[in-house]
Amino acid sequence: MSAAMREAYRELAVVAAVVVAIGGAAALLLLAMGFPIAGGLTALWTGSFGSWYVFTSASLVRAVPLMLTGAAVALAFRGGVLNIGGEGQLLVGAAAAAAVALAMPSATVTVPLVIAAALLAAALGGALWASVAAYLRARYGVLEVISTIMLNFVALHLVSYLVRGPLQEPTHVYPQSATIVDALHLPRLPGAGRLHSGFVVALTVAVAAGWMLRRTAAGFRLVAAGENPAAATSAGGIDVRVTTARVFLLSGALAGLAGGVEVLGVTFALYENISPGYGYTAIAVALLARLDPWRVVATAVLFGALEAGAGAMQRDAGVPSTLVSVIEAALILAVVATQSFRSRRQRPDVGEHVQPVDA
């Protein structure tokens, strides 16, 4: 069998596993809890792909932060960094963007400059948050899975403090920041409902990240350090420590940017529950995309639609929206299972990843 055909079969197997996992998990859970299957699935569909307005205003709007955090996770995992901290980095990024946007009266400086500054602050905030875990890993060998999760909780409490303290709205009644002035909102895309220009930002970032992995020396170093650190050091002359630290920061910056885009494009204020777990969903998004930022674009849209559909399912059919987490977990396990059956532990497949992947 040719390599191309094997690739095609594998792709098919993954897609089949995904479809079976989604449908099966959803139907089983609905059945087990005595909810109407048809009603639930109908609501899931109409709430996600039902109409152009729903698709753009609900599904694609939710796909934006997922695309950015998904690309962040994909880059990190490819570089051998298991960054589970997208949620915390996103929150810090959101806080940074809100702080900048609220601090700068739009009259004094030109608007695009303020927006750019706010988004830059978001990316820096995310990178700063990731740098704690990156430092702990580089200096003390602390497992980043644990440190990033701890930092997620710290970020949650940090936002909780900010919206009740320094960033609280002027009347000091509600735990949220003041609303960002209209001029600083990310402009909406024409003819696409509530979809904002953050979509273009996310798309650009995902495409650029995929291009970097495929075509640049930095991308090559990243993947080499992730695939086989020992070989990258000895044969490639790559400083794995530096490469790993850099990809960690970059990943944090992208997740932070997601928070900034969310604040300026959707919520227009900082509050506690600003993210319904985008940073965690991103892991499923990235794994399903087989850690390729280009495929992340598609999987982010799929998950954005799932999240939107789940909301509709809760409203229309009374099915708990947390069901989506179950579906996501089933998806991750399905993907992991189909990939593991290639038994990659016996067949070193370094070449497969290090060469530019065209598929």
Partner 1 sequence: MPLGLAALGELLVERAGLINIGLEGAILAGAFGALVGASTAGGIGAGFAAAALAGLVIAMLFALCVIWIRADQIIAGTALTLLSVGATGTLYRALFGSSGAALRIPTSEPVAIPGVATLPVVGAALFSQPPITYFLYLLAPALAWWLARTHAGLALRAIGERPEAAEAAGIAVDRLRVLAILSGGVLGGLAGGTLVLAQAGTFAEGMSAGRGFIAIAIVVLGRWTPYGVAAGALLFGAASALQYAFQAMGWNAPYQVFLVVPYALTLAALAGAVGRARAPAALGRALETRR
Question: To the nearest whole angstrom, how small is the minimum distance from the Cβ of residue 330 to partner 1?
Answer: 7
Question: To the nearest whole angstrom, how small is the minimum distance from the Cβ of residue 8 to partner 1?
Answer: 23
Q: 227 Cβ partners below 8 Å, 6+ apart?
A: 80, 350, 353, 354
Question: To the nearest whole angstrom, how small is the minimum distance from the Cβ of residue 84 to partner 1?
Answer: 6
State whether the Cα torsion 193-198-106-128 is positive or negative: positive
Please say which residue, 88 or 293, places its beta carbon nearer to partner 1: 88
Cβ count within 10 A of residue 278: 28
C-alpha torsion 322→325→328→332, nearest 10: -160
- Sole binder of partner 1 in the list 184, 264, 287, 308 (CB under 8 A): 287
Q: Is 149 in the site for partner 1 (CB under 8 A)?
A: yes
- Sole binder of partner 1 in the list 97, 284, 288, 297 (CB under 8 A): 284
CB 122 within 8 A of CB 260: yes
Please say which residue, 189 or 333, places its beta carbon nearer to partner 1: 333
Q: 171 Cβ partners below 8 Å, 6+ apart?
A: none
| Contact set for partner 1, span 107-146 (CB under 8 A) | 132, 136, 139-143, 145-146
- Sole binder of partner 1 in the list 110, 216, 340, 355 (CB under 8 A): 340
Question: To the nearest whole angstrom, how small is the minimum distance from the Cβ of residue 307 to partner 1?
Answer: 12
Q: Is 99 in the site for partner 1 (CB under 8 A)?
A: no
DSSP assignment of 74-95, as one string? HHHHHTT----THHHHHHHHHH
- Sole binder of partner 1 in the list 23, 24, 165, 348 (CB under 8 A): 165
Q: Is 172 in the site for partner 1 (CB under 8 A)?
A: no
Question: To the nearest whole angstrom, how small is the minimum distance from the Cβ of residue 81 to partner 1?
Answer: 11
Please say which residue, 180 or 283, places its beta carbon nearer to partner 1: 283
CB 252 within 8 A of CB 122: no
By rule CB under 8 A, what string of x and - marks binding of each residue 304-333 to partner 1? ----------x-----x-xxxxxxxxx-xx
- What is the rounded CA–CA span in Å between residue 89 and residue 72? 10
| Contact set for partner 1, span 29-48 (CB under 8 A) | 29, 33, 35
Please say which residue, 96 or 327, places its beta carbon nearer to partner 1: 327
For residue 196, the surrounding DSSP H or E stretch is none
**Which of these, 263, 260, 265, 307, lies nearest to 282 by C-alpha position?**
307
DSSP assignment of 219-261, as one string? HHHHHHHHH-HHHHHHTT---HHHHHHHHHHHHHHHHHHHHHH
Footprint on this chain of partner 1 (rule: CB under 8 A): 29, 33, 35, 82, 84, 132, 136, 139-143, 145-147, 149-154, 157-158, 160-161, 164-165, 280, 283-284, 287, 314, 320, 322-330, 332-333, 336-337, 340-341, 343, 345-346
